[in-house]
Structure 1
Amino acid sequence: MNGLESKARITAIGTYAPDKKLTNQDMEKIVETNDEWIVQRTGIHERRIASEEEFTSDLCIKAVENLMTTYHKSVEDVDLIIVSTTTPDYPFPSVACQIQERFNIINAAAFDLNATCAGFTYALHAANGLITSGLHRKVLVLAGETLSKVTDYEDRTTCVLFGDGAGAALVEYDEKNPSFIKSVFGTKGNGGKHLYRSGLSTKMEDVSLHGKGNIVQNGREVYKWATRTVPEGIERLFDGIEMQVTDIDWFVPHSANLRMIESICEKSLIPIEKTLNSVEYIGNTSSATIPLALQLGIEKGKLTNGQYVLLYGFGGGLTHMGMLIKWDVNPNSYSRS
């Protein structure tokens, strides 16, 4: 860990994606596009879409339930809830407060965090720091998004990308077997105008905003920033430690776009075969892409205990965070319910 030796471990994970699918063939009926164009440029075949009655809190609740069932965990003694989201049910109360109420977590602080597509790694970083410092002992981290509710389905450059989903992770005090090795992060605030969702203000840096509450993206600029910044961050991540990038077992970047991931891998000398993603059949779910990709890796028998995993979130802000962790999440050995 940067500055302090970590005392925190990820002990459980859970995910949820809505049942409804929006395929590329469905997209052809909505906007001027086709399956070949979408796959060639993004790698996406279909997305999962929340129903009209499903909101971010609902997806997060299902992810926690999945975590509890799979790993036989209780969350009643959680002392902090952090939810990463850009699409909360309401401006306030927070989704974290809704989670507290739903699971009757009596003695917990609760807040939402918005670091867009880097949100899951930011939330893990915060949980690690707060546990390592001794301020908390058991933190429930969630990332949930219902991007379909803020997508402009008349904008063919963005509407083919986004889907809905949620992930949850339990981070607990464990001095002997911590998960977290090192983190890197950075922000380029003057790039915020290239990826935003308009709100109360109608201008950013004297640039008029568009979208009326929907996602607006300058894909070319975001692509250039991500494919330059993430490889530089990966290089910094391994600077000064005994490990090298060739030592990692899996690279789990934010699943923004498969072509972007391929470019990042090429520049970072990471074989594409070492990546886990969730974008092909769930879509870009912002902060939820990384936990969804981890879960898919587990289900496919790829991600196993003792492996070294590089997580890297990046997105609107513009902001990014990468972290190197050792994966040791075992439902049989570490059930504490």
Structure 2
Amino acid sequence: MGRIILGTGSSLPSKVVTNEDLEKIVDTTDEWIRTRTGIQQRHISTTGEYTHVLAARAAANALEMAGVAAEEISLIIVGTISSHMLMPSCACFVQKEIGAQNAFAFDLNAACSGFLYALDLADKYIHSDKEKKILVIGAETLSGRLNWEDRNTCILFGDGAGAAVVGHSDSDRGFVGVNHFSDGNLWNLLYMHTAESTNPDIKVKDWPGAHIFMEGREVFKHAVKAMDDAVRGLMQKTGIGLESVKLVIPHQANIRILNNLVERLELPAEKVFINAQKYGNTSAASIPIALDEANRDGRIEENDLILFCSFGGGFTWGASLLKW
């Protein structure tokens, strides 16, 4: 162990879009959305609130909590699928925004699992060099990657960012274990194209646009089983029972997925942190936003075992266990 989270932070756009607001632009109702997803509202970016801007704000909040200066950061990893540019990376823009002049920076694309994958990578970097302090960020502006005429997807997603500062500790606190997976064979159940190719030889036939496509029912079935299996596998690998876990922070996909996961794992409701009703699905940002909220609300104490699990496009999924 010995690689711990020193501080957390999050940032959300100021604009809130309610289900009633969506009723005015797409064929849906508040009741329909609540019944199927549990989501009541989501935050949507406005002028200038690019992914890296939200990420930098979250990073600044995490640095402040950790008592770490931006110049002390060695590496910035941003989990995102919605940076406003493909190049430079969102992480490079964050580096510029916060003045982390001594860091190198890159993005990680694992959809909704991006933050957990990035946390695992940070843990291994610090294992090889305990002097490193690393910013791990999940940030998305999926509002710019949605078909706002598709009621099956546009109701689900929101914008936001969450961050954690990871560093070395001489204690026995830290990362206990991970159990991560992917399956590219199922890519066509949840995907998003980039801009259309300008090379005619490699153009995607019948290119449908650069926004999210999802087979909701199939994703639901795979997501619940995959996270259930990942959590059980992790508990078996670590030899720790679920009853020892203080708090479970899952990816905030939607309430139906979360309720089914809780039921399968036989978890008491008070052990599971859920905020999807307020923010919707913020993809890679969902777990770090929830983590920061739980942390600042006093739901986490030193030496608590915290369990994370996620599922996203790719497919990517997994679980992580942390001794706080």
Return the offset for 1:136: 6.1
Q: 1:224 aligns with which of 217, 221, 225?
A: 221
- Map 1:158-173; keep pairs closer than 5 Å: 158-173=153-168
Verify the 8 A CA contact 1:9 1:177 in the aligned structure 2: no
1:8 and 1:172 in contact (8 A); partners too: yes
SS in 2 for 1:11: strand
Match of 1:272?
269
TM-score, normalising length: structure 1: 0.90
Structure 1: 5+ residue runs without aligned partners? 1-5, 328-337
Counterpart Cα distance in 2 of 1:136 and 1:231 = 35
Match of 1:40 among 7, 30, 35: 35
Q: CA RMSD in A?
A: 1.7
Q: Aligned partners of 1:79, 1:278: CA distance in 2, in Å? A: 31
Q: How far apart, in 2, do the equivalents of 1:54 and 1:241 lie? A: 41
Q: CA deviation at 1:209?
A: 6.8
Distance in 1 between the 2:7 and 2:295 partners? Answer: 12
Residues 114-156 of structure 1: per-residue CA shift (max 9 Å, x gap):
0100000000000001111228611111111000011111001
Give the conservation status (yes or no) of the 8 Å contact 2:248–2:273.
Answer: yes
d(CA) in 2 for partners of 1:38, 1:102? 37
SS of 2:135's equivalent in the other structure is strand
> Could you tell me how far apart the structure 2 residues matched to 1:315 and 1:128 are?
21
Matching residue of 1:25: 20
Cα contact 1:14–1:167 (8 A) shared by 2: yes
TM-score, normalised on structure 2?
0.93
1:7–1:128 contact (8 Å) kept in structure 2: no
Q: Which residue of 2 aligns with 1:63?
A: 58
Deviation at residue 177 of structure 1 after TM alignment: 3.6
Looking at structure 2, the residues matched to 276 and 211 of structure 1 have their Cα atoms a distance apart, in angstroms, of 36
- Please give the secondary structure, in 2, of the residue aligned with 1:171: strand
Report matched runs for 1:138-177 at 5 Å: 138-177=133-172
> Alignment partner of 2:72: what SS?
coil
Map of 1:326 onto structure 2: 323
Name the CA distance, whole Å, in 2 between partners of 1:167 and 1:36. Answer: 29
Which amino acid counterpart does residue 117 of structure 1 have in structure 2? C
The corresponding residue for 1:300 is 297
| 1:145-177, Cα deviation, whole Å (9 max, x unpaired) | 000011111001111100000011100122424
Distance 2:144 2:112 in 1: 16
1:309 aligned to 2:297?
A: no
Instruction: Provide the C-alpha distance between the structure 2 equivalents of 1:53 and 1:29, rounded to a whole number of angstroms.
Output: 24
Matched length? 318
Q: Are positions 1:76 and 2:67 aligned together?
A: no
Q: Is the 8 A contact 1:262 1:272 kept in 2?
A: no
Amino acid of the residue matched to residue 20 of structure 1? Answer: K
8 Å contact 1:278–1:292 — kept in the other structure? no
Unaligned runs of 5+ in 2: 198-203
Structure with the higher helix share, 1 or 2: 2
User: Taking structure 1 as reference, are residues 232 and 15 closer, same or farther at Cα in structure 2, changes over 3 Å only?
Assistant: same
Deviation at 1:272, TM superposition (A): 2.6
